[in-house]
Amino acid sequence: MKISIVTISFNQKKYLRECIDSVLEQKECEVEYIVVDPGSTDGSRELIESYGDRIVKVFDSDSGPADGLHKGFSHATGDIYGFINSDDYYLPNALSKVKEFFDCRNTNCFMTGQGYSEDAFGIRTPIAPSVLSAREMLHRSAVVFQQSTFFPASLYEKVGGINTLNRTCWDYELFLNFLQHGAEHFIDKNELAVFRLYADSISGSGRLKKRYFQELDEIFLGALGRKRSYFDKILTIYLRTKRQILKRFIQVS
């Protein structure tokens, strides 16, 4: 079983080496690593080149991160796909755990492992991803951990890949599409990845927050054929509260 990993990178040299090494140092599985850089000027391309043929390099221009991922996956030849941002990284032996999971599953499912967020001081906080359902995703009450999520190549092709027009939540839309095409989502117990959250990151800065919610509204409209209503917003509050209560109950018990 071959696992294809795609990283999109643009002027992220500060973190890029750690990301690349975390993929290339994975043990006990066959890994194909594709790095997409549409035109960095901070030395990232030279760093990528220094790895030689250990990396499949895609240096084409693109129209944004989702388009970059699309271009990256167009070069993939693996059985299982995943993508990790250039400022995030995998934990040791993560991909061997992914292989173990899919060795005993059919191809109409996808999985998310455990992991951490990491702040600018290197302090980690555990992330508790939730089992994804279309209902919870459409009502914004799911905990999505993209860095630890993996899926069969056949499932990616089945849904038509990533929406390249999505600028902020392409991973969210992709996983929802999996569910809407009948795929089942599983949570794996193993710790697989670390998501960096810092002031200059997209998530940390919040600079695309307005567009993010606009695109979530567009996804909702496309899925259900109507705009979000007042009752949908109440349902979101209910589902989030329910999840928090269940989480605390599990921690206590």
Could you tell me which residue, 245 or 51, shows the higher pLDDT?
Answer: 51
User: What is the predicted pLDDT for the residue at 159?
Assistant: 97
User: What is the predicted pLDDT for the residue at 253?
Assistant: 44
User: What is the predicted pLDDT for the residue at 248?
Assistant: 67
Distance, CA of 230 to CA of 67 (rounded, Å): 34
User: What is the predicted pLDDT for the residue at 206?
Assistant: 59
Non-local (6+) Cβ contacts of 148 within 8 A are 94, 112, 113, 114, 115, 127, 129, 188, 192, 193
User: What is the predicted pLDDT for the residue at 93?
Assistant: 96
Q: Tens of pLDDT along 182-222?
A: 999 999 999 999 999 876 655 544 567 899 999 999 999 99
Q: Tens of pLDDT along 211-235?
A: 999 999 999 999 999 999 999 999 9
Over residues 124-147, mean pLDDT: 94
Q: Which domains does the chain have, with CATH numbers?
A: 2-252 (3.90.550.10)
Could you tell me which residue, 15 or 253, shows the higher pLDDT?
Answer: 15
Contact status, residue 79 vs residue 2, Cβ threshold 8 Å: yes
The CB-based long-range contact list for 155-164 (8 Å cut-off, 24+ gap) reads 155/107, 155/108, 155/109, 155/110, 155/181, 155/183, 156/73, 156/81, 161/70, 161/73, 162/66, 162/69, 162/70, 162/73, 163/66, 164/63, 164/64, 164/66, 164/67, 164/70
- Structure tokens that stand for 76 in this block: 């993939």
Distance, CA of 174 to CA of 151 (rounded, Å): 11
Residue percentage of the chain with pLDDT more than 70 = 93
User: What is the predicted pLDDT for the residue at 106?
Assistant: 80
Distance, CA of 179 to CA of 109 (rounded, Å): 9
Q: Tens of pLDDT along 38-49?
A: 999 999 999 999
Over residues 167-194, mean pLDDT: 96
